[in-house]
Amino acid sequence: MTGAARRDVLIGAGTTALAAATAPWSRGALAQKTHSLPASEWDYCTIKDLLAALRARKISALELTDRAIARIETADRRVNAVVARDFERARAAAKAADVALSRGGEGALLGVPMTVKESFNIAGLPTTWGDPQFKRFMPQEDALVVARLKNAGAVILGKTNVPLMLSDWQTYNDIYGTTNNPWNLRLTPGGSSGGSAAALACGFGPLSIGSDRGGSLRAPAHYCGVYAHKPTSGLVPNRGLTPPGAPPLPRHCDLGVIGPMARSAADLAFALDVIAGPDEERAGAGYRLALPSARHDKLKNFRVLVIDTHPLGRTASVVRAALGRLSERLVRAGAKLAHASPLLPDLAESARLYVRLLSAFWGADLRPSVYARLRGAAAALSPWNRSLAAERTRGAVISHRDWLAADGARSALQERWRELFREWDVVLCPAMPTPAFPHDHSPIESRRIEIDGRSYAYLDAQIVWVALATTPGLPATVAPIDRTETGLPVGVQIIGPYLEDRTTIGFAELLEREFGGFAPPPDLCAGH
């Protein structure tokens, strides 16, 4: 399927009743072991700890890089996360970092090995977005965030796998194949930043960079038990996160953001300081992001609103139970907590608005024949049909007049959230409706997902929780909080006020400090 065809399918998808065959989750699937890896104290260190060790000469940047490369060459045979590898240039960058460290260099990420999502331009590596027609496309310059990471001293190991045109909550394509979840190889790691989340869980460096328009940072973090941060809209410039062959121009991409993924909340803050800032060549080099500090530095001072049900979609009982246990821990820690507020915006209308705006974005690239078909389908819809499938169809062929009305509704929604955050500091909700689910490569428009024994339309079920923060452009951090009975990670989505990214990340840090956070998948830490 070409990229254009995948976009056509996503827009035109309805609520077909065909059920996708899926295997049940089971602990037995964990028996599909990767090759055992020799233990190393460096495999799951935080950026802070690695920087301290590098500066104390406990380990060199080249040694760290070689260790990460060895792990990729061993564990990634079964996971398939790092698909465009750049090991020779990584070793050269590590050697240069060691020279800089010996001279007192202070780069924010100096000597730290990491990965980057395949969709970001890196000169000398292919940028395909999973589309075979662009298999040999090589950009001429780095994406701006990649340049900032390199300027900060990061060592880029390679690029991580994505779904075709970044258009799925799974990660597979006809160029690089399927990426598996390190917790259970039969399950998806999520998408579209699924390769990055899997790489982090496998110990392939402490940091990766991804993007998010439909939960593409948050879903994989939840499924793989790592951390991710969807920044406030517009905070991180997107120049060079560009479809293959398109000019890498600075432009606003509606709903889309770039953000960090890591194995600790503090590392998200490290990375955000490096990549955020205006789209200017000098910004990011010694640039300090002028964002408000976190509202509080103790859990007991936070006012927390918890939401675990959505009017347009079911949430798995295991996810709700994990959120319930977290709520109990927060109350015991002294936080003010509630499960309802009259200030909360209408979640159903927010989701419908999100679907219209998202479809309008993708619909701009529809082929004329598909556009004409959908225009006819939209005209035939009853005005009383408010289903998400109907909103997808309407959004695909939306007029400029109606788009402006939708944008005005978004402004009103943003104001409603501002009112809520005068009374509450953060809102906690699921990141996705289920834990990681089995690979399913059936046609996306007819795909189904099972939630508590019942089948639901895949495209509808997967968007309801990601829409909360995406529609109004709010910051959202995902943190691992629990495990299911079958051992799968469960994360929480922490939504905060506009431009208060440090509050959501800071809250995730406090959760990590008080209750724990990332743990390596058991089959990948043999010998630890």
User: pLDDT tens, position by position, for the chain (528 residues)?
Assistant: 444 444 444 444 332 222 222 222 232 333 334 445 566 889 999 999 999 999 999 999 999 999 999 999 999 999 999 999 999 999 999 999 999 999 999 999 999 999 999 999 999 999 999 999 999 999 999 999 999 999 999 999 999 999 999 999 999 999 999 999 999 999 999 999 999 999 999 999 999 999 999 999 999 999 999 999 999 999 999 999 999 999 998 888 899 999 999 999 999 999 999 999 999 754 544 456 689 999 999 999 999 999 999 999 999 999 999 999 999 999 999 999 999 999 999 999 999 999 999 999 989 889 999 999 999 999 999 999 999 999 999 999 999 999 999 999 999 999 999 999 999 999 999 999 999 999 999 999 999 999 999 999 999 999 999 999 999 999 999 999 999 999 999 999 999 999 999 999 999 999 999 999 999 998 765 433
Q: Give the whole-angstrom CA distance, residue 385 versus residue 118.
A: 38
**Which pLDDT does position 526 carry in this prediction?**
45
Cα separations in angstroms, 425 against 303, 336, 418, 496: 5, 10, 11, 7
Q: Give the whole-angstrom CA distance, residue 297 versus residue 319.
A: 27
Cα separations in angstroms, 449 against 92, 441, 516: 45, 12, 30
192's tokens: 């579209």
**Which pLDDT does position 287 carry in this prediction?**
55
Per DSSP, the residues of 39-80 read --TTTT--HHHHHHHHHTTSS-HHHHHHHHHHHHHHHHHHH-
Query: CB–CB of 519/465 below 8 Å?
Result: no
Q: What is the CATH number of domain 3-21+42-288+296-349+399-516?
A: 3.90.1300.10
Domain boundaries, given as residue ranges, for the chain: 3-21+42-288+296-349+399-516
**Which pLDDT does position 33 carry in this prediction?**
43
**Which pLDDT does position 288 carry in this prediction?**
60
What pTM was estimated for this model as a whole? 0.92
Per DSSP, the residues of 365-388 read T--HHHHHHHHHHHHHS-TT---H
Report residue 363: phi and psi, to 5°: -65, -20
Query: CB–CB of 360/406 below 8 Å?
Result: yes
**Which pLDDT does position 434 carry in this prediction?**
98
479's tokens: 């943190």
490's tokens: 């469960």
36's tokens: 């055992």
Q: How many H helices and E strands in the chain?
A: 16, 15
437's tokens: 């689910």
Three-class secondary structure of residue 485 per DSSP: coil
Q: Give the whole-angstrom CA distance, residue 382 versus residue 75.
A: 52
Cα separations in angstroms, 247 against 51, 100, 252, 507: 36, 34, 14, 38
Cα separations in angstroms, 139 against 121, 124, 144, 245, 423: 6, 7, 13, 8, 47
**Which pLDDT does position 23 carry in this prediction?**
26
Query: What phi-psi label fits residue 312: left (phi over 0), alpha (psi between -120 and 50 degrees) or beta?
Result: alpha
Per DSSP, what are the bridge partners of residue 448?
A: 457
Query: CB–CB of 261/219 below 8 Å?
Result: no
Which one-letter DSSP state was computed for residue 181?
A: B
